[in-house]
Amino acid sequence: MSGRNCGSARITTVLLDLDGVLMDHRAAAREAVGAWLGERATPDVVDAWFASMAVHLAEWRAGTSTWAEQRRDRLRDVLPLLGEPVGTDEELDALFESGYLPAYERAWRGYDDAAPALAALRAAGYRLGVLTNGTETQQRAKLRVLGLADAVGPVFTAEAVGAPKPDPRAFLAACAGLVVAPEEVPYVGDEPETDVLGARGAGLSAVLLDRDGTAPPEETAVIGSLAELPGLLRP
């Protein structure tokens, strides 16, 4: 293995986020709301869906809601905006699984820069892994659909490791699973606090993937595309 140097640390392994880094989750979610609701997917409704998703996924990450309940809560927030009644838990589950979810799954697509960057990193001698906040079933299915399941190395989900980013335990569990010291690993994520500050808090280095040009001005380890990653890691 040909390790690289970045500052004083030898980098052997690159750990990557999934949503927003390898897969365009926001585009998929936006497309799914449109497919599910048709002309009722007004900008206000789409904004409300994204806002609700952020709130209730945060509750799931904090352990105050279950995976099923955060899905129901999103529907409880948005159905009244559509003038529709909020049904029982069973009715909400059926609606999520027949409406939004299959449309979201049909919209899963990888970023164009993902597969080439993963190949370039492997060719440069780095080991790879994925650490993602989400469930085993859904996150592994995304990687299969994207055709990246065999390209990313070991996959660690918040569900499987028992802690979500930015909890240091999530990053340390992934490093333990890869049998690598945290200081040898940069984490590549798209969220400044969850990913970048979270990784640094666990002793990893971090790179912010800023696809939309909204990086905090004080952040210095920033790339606009995964194509820039191999060059950034090179000494």
Of the two residues 17 and 159, which places its CB atom closer to Mg ion in the complex? 17
Shortest Cβ 200–Mg ion spacing (Å): 16
Of the two residues 20 and 129, which places its CB atom closer to Mg ion in the complex? 20
SS3 string, the chain, reads CCCEEECCEEECEEEECCECCCECHHHHHHHHHHHHHHHHCCHHHHHHHHHHHHHHHHHHHHCCCCHHHHHHHHHHHHHHHHCCCCCCHHHHHHHHHHCHHHHHHHCCCECCCHHHHHHHHHHCCCEEEEEECCCHHHHHHHHHHHCCCCCCCCEEEHHHHCCCCCCHHHHHHHHHHHCCCHHHCEEEECCHHHHHHHHHHCCCEEEEECCCCCCCCCCCCEECCHHHHHHHHCC
Of the two residues 23 and 78, which places its CB atom closer to Mg ion in the complex? 23
Shortest Cβ 188–Mg ion spacing (Å): 10
Shortest Cβ 20–Mg ion spacing (Å): 3
Of the two residues 17 and 31, which places its CB atom closer to Mg ion in the complex? 17
Interface with Mg ion by CB under 5 A: which residues? Answer: 17, 19-20, 190
Of the two residues 17 and 41, which places its CB atom closer to Mg ion in the complex? 17
Shortest Cβ 83–Mg ion spacing (Å): 33
